Structure 1
Amino acid sequence: MKAPVILGAIIGVFTGPLLPGAGALSAKDFGQFGEAWPIIEPDLFQTIKAKLVAAEKSGKLDDLNARFAQRVKQKVMRPSPVSGIRPATQNKTWTFDPSVSVDRNISDDKGHLIAVAGQRVNPFDYVSLSQELIFIDGDRSSEVSWAMAQGSDREVKIIMVNGSPFEAMKEHKRRFYFDQQGTLSEKFGIRHTPATVQQTQNVLTISEISLDGGMQ
């Protein structure tokens, strides 16, 4: 038998029943072997409830709650650092325009029209930034000391991108804040600390400041 004929025979054994025009396949009942069990799909919530009840009885639930509470406390006391921010090694300054375009008419509480839809509005036309913002790495003592020397709580707001604001408040007896998820750092384009943000007329002036070449 030639090779193509052999190959065709092998392919036919496996694919013949699937090819168009092939003969019908026969099915034979061989009966039932062994015990048959019904297919049961347990209710998910009942399963979870049962596991929780069992965990509560064994004391595991209290342990899980305690560990969860401890993790939450740790996150609150020391939030996750803002990624991508390093100590400044050179001074850099730029401006940020806070103006926004409104998508609808805006009125004050007395019904007076403040802005119309499509108008570009600068919030500094109506309010001012009462405090200078200072962004620091709270784990770097040089940055903490430098930031506190820039003014009192009324004059500056110290915002950490790393470290524990609660530990700093306890140690230095003044307020510290944290840039949660790097929202402000990202908005202002801050990539190095310490950095300051202050109002200059109708824009914000942002500066990254090198302290001793970035060494602690």
Structure 2
Amino acid sequence: MSGVPFAVHLAARDHGQMGETFPIIEEDLLTVIEARLRHLESSGRIAELQATMRDQAVKSVRQPKAVAGLGTSATPRSWLFDPSIVVENDVTDDKGALIAARGQRVNPMAFVQLTQQLVFIDGTDKTQRDWAVARFSQMKAKIIFVNGSPFDQMKPYQRRFYFDQGGQLVSRFGIRNVPAIVSGEGQMLRIAETPVKAGGA
């Protein structure tokens, strides 16, 4: 190479458009949501959605979901149940005195007796309803539905009914069939699955 300096030539060329291009648009999310809500409001959809949610809430209260897996008592079955629990935190009285320490096994029946029996029934079965109401006064027992609407039956029977939401009680007591009666027996609970015939036998 003589005295001519080495040169690098760079050239930029237009190769044309390789594909479709789009403008970048960033919308404020809150603006989009607000616009959609205004549209729903103007079209009456918000009121409709609110009414639907209200109706569903009322229905879930008036007609709770039936407890699954329960049958009808065909033969008597009775057993004792220990209601003892393991305390998760220290329990103290109003003066700060320790009643039970964390991790201690405590039987609530040692402190409070079950003053009312718990009677579990299928509230959609008129035979079970009539039997429970005839046999157990409101002072003597709480009648607890595992199916059906307790609210719809309060007026015809002129008494309060309850519902075992999610089957928490029957599951804890090991109840598999209704009617079932839970009674206090010393520091234990007596659980009896009791067959009922038409006519309240």
Question: TM-score scaled to structure 2, two decimals?
Answer: 0.84
Partners of 2:53 and 2:112 in 1: CA distance: 42
Aligned to 1:168: 153
The residue type paired with residue 36 of structure 1 is T
Aligned to 2:92: 107
Partners of 1:45 and 1:161 in 2: CA distance: 45
**Alignment CA distance shift 1:81-1:104 (3 Å):** closer
Helix, strand or coil for the counterpart of 1:212? coil
Helix, strand or coil for the counterpart of 1:145? helix
The residue type paired with residue 175 of structure 1 is R
Partners of 2:90 and 2:56 in 1: CA distance: 45
The residue type paired with residue 37 of structure 1 is F
Partners of 1:207 and 1:43 in 2: CA distance: 63
Aligned to 1:11: none
Answering whether residue 192 of structure 2 is matched by residue 204 of structure 1, we say no
The residue type paired with residue 41 of structure 2 is E
Aligned to 1:60: 45
**RMSD across aligned positions (CA):** 2.2
Aligned to 2:4: none
How many correspondences in the alignment? Answer: 186
**Alignment CA distance shift 1:208-1:47 (3 Å):** farther
Gaps of 5+ in 1: 1-28
Question: Deviation at 1:200?
Answer: 0.5
User: Retained in 1: the 8 A contact 2:124–2:148?
Assistant: yes
Answering whether residue 139 of structure 2 is matched by residue 154 of structure 1, we say yes
More helix by share: 1
The residue type paired with residue 182 of structure 1 is G
**Alignment CA distance shift 1:43-1:197 (3 Å):** farther
Partners of 1:72 and 1:30 in 2: CA distance: 64
**Alignment CA distance shift 1:43-1:89 (3 Å):** farther
**Alignment CA distance shift 1:39-1:94 (3 Å):** farther
Query: Does 194-203 or 34-43 show the bigger shift?
Result: 34-43
Question: TM-score scaled to structure 1, two decimals?
Answer: 0.78
Aligned to 1:18: none
User: Retained in 2: the 8 A contact 1:138–1:163?
Assistant: yes
Q: State the Cα deviation string for residues 157-212 of structure 1 (Å, max 9, x = none).
A: 00001001011101111000011111111111111111111110001111111123
Partners of 1:79 and 1:73 in 2: CA distance: 10
Query: Does 198-207 or 117-126 show the bigger shift?
Result: 117-126
Q: State the Cα deviation string for residues 98-157 of structure 1 (Å, max 9, x = none).
A: 112224432211222212333221111111111100001000000001111222211100
Identity %: 45
Aligned to 2:5: none
Gaps of 5+ in 2: 1-13
